[in-house]
């Protein structure tokens, strides 16, 4: 009997240790793709002096970018090669568009077509290379380039990545071709959330419980929508406006063209959703349940919560990177920011920023994120590829809203307690100017860059007007009255 009891105790303690180990591993952020030492040696032999990113992509010394694909079937240990060599490439000339190594791992070169980015179309590859390509998928933690899309026939290699698909059109017939060329492909970039056509600006007001609609050109008030709740974050997906109602634990759905609510997505009682963000393709939206400490992944077509990602306590703002590969969640109670992959909805890392982080802005290439810290009076600069804070800039008192100019050269930060806006030179990371707010705008919250790139809207937490700042002159042009206080702002196309 005594031996049996000892045996049970040993099993118990062993199980407890295993559970603790699993819990520790699960609590760790997702790891970046790691190249084996053999593959790394082969890559460096082919690309001397190249840089290998955390997601396994290669940045060559000539400025070329190669994205990594991994085989869907992992070879067993018995067949694992002791060395790795370059086995296939296309074309033979430099730079190659496609590379495949003897262990099955492959690379595709990012091809620039104006502002767009793409890769070689599978139809342009030799049959053997094409078959090998389709045994692979892009790595799940891929940092997707800005304005990146691929032809529809590439869909099998995308996995769960949110990458725009474009039509693959045959090359135009020629009367007398003199040489054999690769079939050209037409590239369509992702439809942006903010366009330059006819649209409207929507402004949330937690104090009044209203959403106000402004004309996208004149910025005059068109109408308002009472929510009978506490509207917080907003996002746009597939032409609809989604509004987080913190007080009633729901997400309201508004049709901007019909100017009416279409329904709502109910979340758990007292979950208090604060922030919303959406994928560039509009298929999924992300909502922060501030009371539950989770991020909901919601399918827009059905309104169903597909899964929940656990994050640090009190998540608030949620902002999607322009390329749609990651989103950042602010955790004000702990002064941290959480990075989540949109390919697998897992936490990639947690970064210490400052006290009471308030707002986020991304650089256009999704390489850097800027976080304003309301109590620290700073802006933290995060290097996305390194997943760490690399600098801190001193602001005025109580920084809230933050925005970057279209050229990426300047950053503007609203200082709520000072009633000012600080302008920074991002290349030098230095403060260059301080703008005083007009009397009609007090305690600024959000800053929003209009589609024309020439005007910034400034919300006001204690007055009934919003400010319009001229980006070139850095002067306020006017202050339209909307009839209540304002918070978040978002532009939606109406075409």
Question: Contact, 300 vs 284, CB < 8 A?
Answer: yes
CA distance 263 to 241: 11
pLDDT of res. 24: 36
Specify which residues 365 forms β-bridges with. Answer: none
Question: Contact, 242 vs 276, CB < 8 A?
Answer: yes
- 6 by DSSP, 3-state: which? helix
pLDDT string in tens for the chain (495-residue length)? 545 444 454 444 444 443 433 433 333 334 456 788 888 888 888 888 889 988 889 998 888 999 999 998 765 544 555 789 999 998 887 889 999 999 999 999 999 877 788 999 888 888 888 889 999 999 988 888 888 888 888 888 988 788 887 754 433 333 333 333 333 333 333 333 333 458 999 999 999 999 999 999 889 999 999 999 999 999 999 999 999 999 999 999 999 999 999 999 999 999 999 999 999 999 999 999 999 999 999 999 999 999 999 999 999 999 999 999 999 999 999 999 999 999 999 999 999 999 999 999 999 999 999 999 999 999 999 999 999 999 999 999 999 999 999 999 999 999 999 999 999 999 999 999 999 999 999 999 999 999 989 999 999 999 999 999 999 999 999 999 999 999 999 999 887
Q: Which of 59, 69, 282 lies closest to 158, judged by CA?
A: 69
What's the pTM value of the predicted model, to 2 decimals? 0.65
- 129 by DSSP, 3-state: which? helix
DSSP state of 133: H
Token pair 């990012």 in the structure block, residue? 110
Question: Contact, 159 vs 138, CB < 8 A?
Answer: yes
CA distance 155 to 198: 33
Domain boundaries, the chain: 37-165, 199-493
- Tokens describing residue 6: 């000892």
CA distance 181 to 121: 13
- Greatest CA separation found in the chain? 93
CA distance 172 to 184: 9
Question: Contact, 237 vs 285, CB < 8 A?
Answer: yes
**Beta-carbon neighbour count of residue 432 at 10 Å?**
11
Q: What are the C-alpha distances in Å from 412 to residues 165, 406, 435, 465, 473?
A: 34, 12, 10, 20, 13
List Cβ neighbours of 143 (8 Å cut-off, separation of 6 or more).
Answer: 53, 54, 55, 57, 323, 325, 326, 366, 384, 385
CA distance 158 to 213: 38
Burial (Cβ within 10 Å: 0-12, 13-18, ≥19) of residue 81: middle
Q: List, edge to edge, every strand of the sheet that includes 475-478.
A: 444-449, 455-460, 467-470, 475-478
Q: Report cis status (omega within 30 of 0) of the bond before 95.
A: yes
DSSP state of 333: T
What helix, strand, coil percent values describe the chain, rounded to 5? Answer: 10, 40, 45
Q: What are the C-alpha distances in Å from 157 to residues 79, 86, 114, 135?
A: 24, 20, 24, 8
CA 2 to chain centre: 59
Q: Report the b/e string of 358-375 with b at 16+ CB within 10 A.
A: bbbbbbeebbbbbbbbbe
CA distance 364 to 370: 12
DSSP β-ladder status, 149-151 and 164-166 = parallel
Q: Report cis status (omega within 30 of 0) of the bond before 429.
A: no
- Tokens describing residue 491: 């532009």
| Domain 199-493 architecture | 7 Propeller (2.130)
Which helix (H) or strand (E) element contains residue 46?
Answer: helix 37-46
CA distance 274 to 235: 11
Q: Which parts of 95-246 are beta strand (E)? A: 98-101, 106-109, 111-113, 116-118, 136-138, 149-151, 164-166, 199-205, 210-215, 221-226, 231-237, 240-245
pLDDT of res. 175: 34
């Amino acid at each position: 009997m005594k031996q049996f009891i000892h045996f049970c105790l040993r099993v118990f303690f062993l199980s407890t240790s295993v559970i603790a180990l699993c819990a520790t591993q699960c609590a760790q952020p997702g790891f970046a793709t790691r190249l084996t030492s053999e593959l790394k040696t082969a890559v460096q032999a082919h690309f001397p002096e190249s840089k290998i990113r955390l997601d396994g992509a290669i940045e060559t010394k000539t400025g070329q970018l190669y994205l990594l694909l991994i085989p869907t079937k992992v070879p067993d240990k018995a067949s694992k090669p002791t060395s790795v060599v370059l086995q296939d490439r296309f074309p033979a000339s430099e730079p190659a568009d496609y590379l495949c190594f003897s262990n099955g791992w492959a690379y595709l070169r990012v091809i620039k077509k104006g502002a767009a980015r793409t890769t070689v179309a599978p139809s342009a590859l030799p049959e053997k290379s094409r078959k090998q390509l389709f045994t692979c998928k892009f790595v799940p933690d891929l940092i997707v380039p800005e304005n990146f899309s691929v032809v529809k026939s590439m869909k099998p290699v995308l996995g769960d990545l949110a990458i725009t698909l474009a039509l693959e059109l045959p090359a135009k017939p020629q009367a007398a071709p003199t040489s054999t060329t690769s079939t050209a492909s037409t590239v369509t970039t992702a439809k942006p959330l903010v366009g330059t056509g006819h649209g409207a600006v929507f402004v949330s007001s937690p104090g009044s419980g209203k959403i106000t609609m402004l004309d996208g050109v004149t910025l005059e008030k068109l109408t308002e929508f009472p929510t009978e709740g506490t509207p917080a974050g907003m996002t746009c997906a597939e032409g609809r406006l989604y509004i987080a109602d913190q007080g009633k634990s729901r997400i309201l759905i508004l049709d901007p063209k019909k100017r009416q609510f279409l329904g709502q997505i109910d979340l758990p009682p007292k979950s208090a959703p604060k922030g919303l963000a959406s994928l560039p393709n509009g298929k999924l939206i992300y909502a922060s349940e501030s009371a539950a400490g989770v991020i909901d992944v919601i399918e827009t077509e059905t309104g169903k919560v597909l899964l929940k990602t656990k994050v640090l306590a009190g998540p608030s703002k949620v902002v999607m990177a322009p390329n749609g590969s990651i989103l950042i969640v602010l955790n004000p109670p702990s002064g941290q920011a959480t990075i989540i992959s949109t390919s697998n909805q897992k936490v990639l890392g947690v970064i210490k920023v400052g006290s009471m982080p308030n707002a986020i802005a991304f650089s256009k290439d999704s390489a850097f994120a800027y976080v304003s810290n309301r109590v620290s009076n700073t802006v933290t600069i995060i290097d996305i590829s390194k997943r760490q804070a690399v600098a801190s800039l001193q602001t005025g008192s109580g920084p809230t809203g933050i925005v970057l100019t279209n050229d990426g050269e300047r950053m503007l930060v609203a200082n709520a307690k000072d009633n000012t806006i600080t302008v920074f030179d991002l290349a030098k990371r230095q403060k260059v100017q301080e703008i005083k707010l007009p009397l009609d705008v007090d305690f600024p919250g959000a800053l929003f860059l209009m589609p024309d790139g020439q005007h910034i809207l400034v919300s006001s937490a204690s007055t009934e007007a919003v400010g319009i700042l001229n980006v070139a002159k850095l002067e306020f042009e006017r202050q339209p009255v909307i009839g209540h206080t304002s918070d978040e702002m978002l532009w939606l196309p109406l075409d």
